[in-house]
Structure 1
């Protein structure tokens, strides 16, 4: 049982590193700006939390690796559920982003959330 768990963790780590290599700031902002309304506020909020948390010097390398892996998945045109699929296209992205948020929650500070909220208000208006 423990051997199987180790293999799953290694597979997950390899996948995260593959997506991390696909990440660039330019491709992140291109995706966010182009698909903000389609993806929805919750997806973009989590993506921005992760982005701004990764920019902080206090965020450790392991957390940045998890963040860039999740953001790399988000910007990748190849998803488990294609982003162009109506209604469900961003469900897998949301799941990956939410898992990363849970993993690095300590580094998603009030300042990070404020910066994200400012961007979100510009794109989506004030929160209800």
Structure 2
């Protein structure tokens, strides 16, 4: 192994995981209107968790990786295979839920609830 491979393995990578200015809220809102309040609530909690400045970067990366994998049309194991086809999705979902559960704060939940009430006002 040469000097360049040693330097590459010791390199530190810094990245901004998500920035609120890059978020297309109108697209997200249109999707969530279709899904309704019941699906919008956890989606908005996940969004607020990602946008919260107190959320550690590894948590953000895990959430984004897991959610991205769940939304991708291509899987490591095709879903048409009985039982095994959904095992990779289950691993991604378990990672997202574990991270979410351990880092969701009452403050984040309150912000998500306010956004939910703004986007989906309760009608009487």
* TM-score band, normalised by shorter chain: 0.5 to 0.7
8 Å CA contact 1:47, 1:97 repeated in 2: no
Question: 1:1-128 residue pairs with structure 2 within 5 A?
Answer: 26=22, 28-72=24-68, 79=73, 100-126=96-122
Return closer, same or farther for 1:54/1:122 CA change in 2, 3 Å cut-off: same
Q: Deviations over 1:39-84 (max 9, x none)?
A: 222322222111211222332222101222245457x6x547xxxx
Alignment length (residue pairs): 92
Q: Which segments of 5 or more consecutive residues in structure 2 lack a partner in the other structure?
A: 1-16, 75-89
Return closer, same or farther for 1:28/1:111 CA change in 2, 3 Å cut-off: same
Return closer, same or farther for 1:112/1:42 CA change in 2, 3 Å cut-off: same
Greater share of residues in helix: 1
Q: Which segments of 5 or more consecutive residues in structure 1 lack a partner in the other structure?
A: 1-20, 81-94
C-alpha separation in 1, matches of 2:104 and 2:97: 8
Greater gyration radius: 2
C-alpha separation in 2, matches of 1:126 and 1:97: 30
Superposed displacement of residue 122, structure 1: 1.7
TM-score normalised per structure 2: 0.53
